[in-house]
Amino acid sequence: MNTQRILSHFHESAELKLQSAPLLAQPISQAIELMFSALSNGNKILACGNGGSAADCQHFAAELVGRFERERFPLPAMALTTDTSIMTAVGNDYSYREIFSKQVQAFGQAGDVLLAISTSGNSANVLAAVEVALEREMRVVALTGKDGGEIAKMLTDADVNICVPHTRTARIQEVHLVTIHCICDGIDVALFGGDVNE
């Protein structure tokens, strides 16, 4: 394979991250504050998304329940993408659109945060989860791309939309990953202060 094509992936990914940084730094900071406040008040974070975004949800929950870069107590986070029995039962008995919203109804409480990940901002099952979260007086942190889609239109001033300014799914997901790492680091710093290497 032509190595130039491989190099172009690296260059495009790096360029988008650098372009996105000044645009996304403030909403990422707001997301950290929102999540830290929820965790500090005994609330939890639920996360949902499809495909690669489902993997990002699981990655995020693993970093909070386990650890990111420093030893600490487990933090309450749950990926709604992992229980195949719930997802297939709800998908079969109701609809695929409800596989996350039913779980938000079951587990979400006022003061919790929903991390809703959709590169298009239009995933029907993520939209349904956001709708239920808002009804339950949860706050929403959305990781989207393109123009933020329908999710961006649903959010209130108390919610946060971290929208990657790109149209290509792979590139959006790459920025979502570094965003997740920024959030995990920010939560740890808010909890303990300083730097992990200090």
Annotated binding site for Zn(2+): 59, 63, 173, 181
**Size (the chain), residues:** 198
Report the binding-site residues. Answer: 50-52, 59, 63, 92-93, 118-120, 123, 173, 181
CA distance 127 to 105: 14
Report the binding-site residues for substrate. Answer: 50-52, 63, 92-93, 118-120, 123, 173
H helix runs in 66-156, sequence order? 84-93, 101-107, 124-135, 149-154
CA distance 159 to 114: 10
Query: Three-state SS for 143?
Result: strand
- Contacts of residue 119, defined as CB under 8 A and 6 or more positions apart, other chains included, come to 52, 53, 144, 145, 146, 164, 169, 172, 173, 176
